[in-house]
């Protein structure tokens, strides 16, 4: 019998993971992570700011306690608030300051859930650590592979792409071989307290709150002009950090009398001039490039110099064919299929069929030799 330390979030996935591990004969120790304090935080000047909502993590912890009692497993609680602030939230803010669009969930997995969590959980001398992620691992000819979860719509390997072999070799993903419906059915069948709890959405420290309002608590929003390719001013943006490439909703232009009713999309940003570039049409040419450069490559596949594979530039985006090549400093990604709205700061994750090969972070996007306004 193996001893497993399981991250219990109070959600249905980690609850069923605890049940499946027990059913498989493992000794399970639950560990609830508190990563965010939503009652008092600080703005960019270091002044305390009071969030509008009661901390949902307290409710999640209570749900985790109910599940632990139901399954008769011990549950411990650990506070990673300070570490999360330093290693994830400060990264999140610094990326927005640069005009990029970060993915803090990727960094949270790398720095907190599969690092700090492992270090803290080591005191229980576990054989493995487990999470409720929809992913799988297997070993083929002595090499560990990270595989997509069986439910393609819920697959979370995109968010695990920065994990290394050592982290993955210690990890179990009990729900990865099931569909979400099957997980719900198991929870209902055995009467888990979280069986009907809805899935959490969005970034963990924002929850159901308005994203732009939350961001304004930490970064000063500076209004500026919205322009088209001809330099005409069409309106006023509320702060470049509030927009991402390819965005349609929230621009505030609506139908423009001179240009008709075709919808407007964000094409680029100019931080120096504080301007937001927009254009009409979902398939506007400036939303597409020929290649991109990325950095911070984490590779869990076999070594390569040039490789043709598939890639995702956003979670739940379909896999697109690319060719990748690298030198010591950066990774070049040539698009073999049209890739829309590839955005600096976002993770690009590589695949061969169901196998996740690793990932990097987008820095620049080009159309032929011309850098696109990202």
Domain count, the chain: 3
Q: Which two tokens stand for residue 251?
A: 């621009």
- CA–CA separation, 132 and 184 (whole Å): 13
Which CATH number do you get for residue 355? 2.40.30.10
Tokens linked to 298: 């984490």
Range(s) of the domain holding residue 280: 221-285
Per-residue pLDDT tens digits for 167-186: 999 999 999 999 999 999 99
SS3 of residue 170 by DSSP: coil
In this structure, are 97 and 246 located in the same domain?
no
pLDDT tops 90 at residue 39: no
Residue labelled with tokens 């060719």:
323
Name the pairing type of β-strands 275-280 and 264-270.
antiparallel
> pLDDT tens, 8-21?
999 999 999 999 99
Based on the residue annotation, tell me whether 204 is a catalytic residue of this protein: yes
Sign of the torsion formed by the C-alpha atoms of 319, 321, 326 and 332: negative
Torsions phi, psi of 75, nearest 5? -130, 125
Q: Of 206 and 329, which is predicted with more confidence?
A: 329
Same structural domain, 278 and 293: no
Structure tokens belonging to residue 287: 């939303």
Q: Are residues 192 and 85 in the same domain?
A: yes
Buried b (16+ CB within 10 A) or exposed e, 172-199: bbbbbebbbeebbebbeeeebbbbebee
Average pLDDT rounded to a whole number, residues 146-174: 97
Q: 83-111: b or e for each residue (b if 16 or more CB lie within 10 Å)? A: ebbebbbebbbebbeebbbbbbbbbbbbb
Identify whether residues 191 and 273 lie together within a single domain. no
Same domain, 37 and 142: yes
292 and 281 within one domain:
no
What CATH code is carried by the domain that includes residue 38? Answer: 3.40.50.620
Say which residues have a Cβ less than 8 Å from residue 183's Cβ, sequence separation at least 6. 12, 13, 16, 175
Angle between helix axes 180-190 and 12-23 (nearest 10 degrees) is: 70
pLDDT in tens, 128-137: 999 999 999 9
244: tokens are: 């991402």
Indicate which residue of 55, 204, 309, 356 is catalytic.
204
**CATH number of the domain to which 266 belongs:** 2.30.30.280
User: Is 356 annotated in the active site?
Assistant: no
Q: Which residues have a Cβ under 8 Å from the Cβ of 230 and sit 6 or more positions away? A: none
pLDDT of residue 213: 81
- Choose the catalytic residue: 55, 108, 309, 356: 108
Question: For residue 147, how many other CB atoms are within 10 A of its CB?
Answer: 20
**Are residues 357 and 265 part of one domain?**
no
> What is the model's pTM?
0.92
Taking all residues of the chain, what is their mean pLDDT, rounded to a whole number? 91
């Amino acid at each position: 019998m193996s001893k497993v330390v399981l991250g219990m979030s109070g959600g249905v996935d980690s609850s069923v993971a605890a049940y499946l591990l027990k059913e498989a004969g493992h000794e399970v120790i639950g560990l609830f992570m508190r990563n965010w304090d939503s009652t008092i935080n600080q703005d960019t000047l270091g002044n305390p700011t009071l969030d509008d909502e009661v901390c949902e993590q307290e409710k999640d912890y209570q749900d985790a306690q109910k599940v632990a009692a139901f399954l008769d497993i011990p549950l411990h609680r650990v506070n990673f608030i300070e570490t999360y602030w330093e290693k994830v939230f400060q990264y999140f803010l610094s990326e927005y300051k640069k005009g990029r669009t970060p993915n803090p969930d990727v960094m949270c997995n790398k720095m907190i859930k599969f690092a700090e969590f492992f270090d803290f959980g080591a005191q229980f001398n576990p054989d493995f650590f487990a999470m409720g992620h929809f992913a799988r691992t297997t070993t083929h000819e002595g090499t560990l592979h990270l595989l997509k979860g069986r439910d393609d719509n819920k697959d979370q390997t995109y968010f695990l792409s920065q994990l290394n072999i050592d982290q993955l070799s210690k990890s179990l993903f009990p729900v990865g071989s099931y569909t979400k419906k099957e997980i719900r059915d198991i929870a209902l069948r055995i009467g888990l307290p979280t069986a009907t709890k809805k899935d959490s959405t969005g970034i963990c420290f924002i929850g159901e709150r308005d994203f732009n309002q939350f961001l304004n608590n930490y970064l000063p929003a500076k209004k500026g002009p919205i322009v088209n390719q001809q330099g005409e001013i069409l309106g006023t943006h509320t702060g470049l950090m509030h927009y991402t490439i390819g965005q349609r909703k929230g621009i505030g232009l609506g139908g423009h009398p001179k240009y008709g009713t075709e919808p407007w999309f964000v094409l680029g940003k100019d931080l120096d001039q504080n301007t937001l570039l927009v254009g009409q049409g979902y398939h506007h040419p400036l939303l597409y490039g020929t290649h991109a450069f990325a950095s911070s490559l984490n590779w869990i596949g076999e070594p390569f110099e040039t490789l043709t594979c598939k890639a995702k530039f956003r979670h739940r985006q379909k896999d697109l064919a690319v060719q990748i090549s690298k030198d010591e400093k950066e990774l070049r990604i040539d698009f073999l299929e049209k890739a829309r709205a590839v955005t600096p700061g976002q993770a690009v994750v590589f695949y061969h069929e169901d196998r996740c090969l690793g990932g990097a972070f987008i820095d620049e996007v080009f159309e032929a030799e011309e850098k696109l306004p990202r």
